[in-house]
Amino acid sequence: MQTIQVRTTQNVYIHYPVASIGDRILGYLIDRVILIAYAVAVGTLLYNLDVNEEWTWILIIGIPFILYSVLFEIFMNGQTPGKRVMNTQVIKLDGTPASMGNYILRWIFSLVDFGVLGGAIAVILIAAGGKGQRLGDLVAGTSVIKQVEEKEITAQEVFVVADAHYQPVFQQALQLTEHDIELIQRALEVNRDLGNSQPLLAVTEKVKNQLSIQTDLPPVKFLYTLIKDFNHLTSR
């Protein structure tokens, strides 16, 4: 599986699997089907209600049709319903969360990607670029990755808040942010699902240096403990 290397704001490199052309095309087709179904259903309703004003049709059908992808990506964290079904997501290549501006840039340049030669330009760029980027992605500094399904053990070990009698091991966990925790979780996922321990080791060293922690715990157990401490300390 082709991967892309993302350098985060903490200078940690994480490898993500790139969404295949097939996944992206299927996601796009699912979104088209949803849009067509919406247009047919709402159009039939407006027709039966004898709505003849052109602006009403444009407002209720045309505008959602045009803004569908950008609005869903903004409010669904880089996904549309089609992307969610295919487990793909838009991310930024510098490791920071994609902004509204990034999604808008992708949307604007989608007119070129999909409006010229029936989408051939997008397919060629994605296939040839190596990072899964169409023109809109190149301009916005984004790509589309394939999400790896989380296993049950992750949910149990990472996301469950400790019980009331739990004693945190590292009080320094309070100095972490939600973004730090997300980065740690990503590193654990990459280690577990792709067998790549480099991000895990890099994050471990970064966190130890940042929080001035000295411990003999193995990296995986250390990071799980840190997340557990963070959840406990921030839930009180």
Residues 122 and 156 grouped into a single domain: no
* Mean pLDDT per 10-residue section of the chain, whose length is 236 residues: 65 74 94 95 93 91 93 94 94 80 94 82 86 92 80 43 71 88 85 76 90 89 89 78
Domain boundary among 146, 170, 203: 146
Residues 164 and 109 grouped into a single domain: no
Is the separation of the CB atoms in 235 and 161 below 8 Å? yes
Residues 19 and 100 grouped into a single domain: yes
- Please give the pLDDT value at position 190: 80
Domain that residue 171 falls in:
152-234
Is the separation of the CB atoms in 145 and 19 below 8 Å? yes
Residues 132 and 117 grouped into a single domain: yes
191 vs 3: CA distance, rounded Å? 14
- Please give the pLDDT value at position 158: 44
Residues 135 and 230 grouped into a single domain: no
Which segments of 11-141 are extended strands (E)? 13-17, 88-92
Domain boundary among 106, 124, 146: 146
Can you tell me which residue has the tokens 């557990």?
228
- Please give the pLDDT value at position 185: 86
What region does 189 belong to: left with phi over 0, alpha with psi -120 to 50, or beta? alpha
Is the separation of the CB atoms in 51 and 57 below 8 Å? yes
Residue 177 DSSP code: -
Can you tell me which residue has the tokens 């991000």?
199
CB-based burial label for 127 (10 Å; 0-12, 13-18, 19+):
exposed
Residue 18 DSSP code: B
C-alpha angle 28/145/220, rounded to 5°? 150
C-alpha angle 180/181/187, rounded to 5°? 90
- Please give the pLDDT value at position 72: 96
Q: Dihedral of the CA atoms 89, 91, 95, 100 (nearest 10)?
A: -130
Residues 70 and 135 grouped into a single domain: yes
Residues 29 and 74 grouped into a single domain: yes
Provide the residue count of the chain.
236
Task: Indicate the pTM of the whole model.
Answer: 0.65
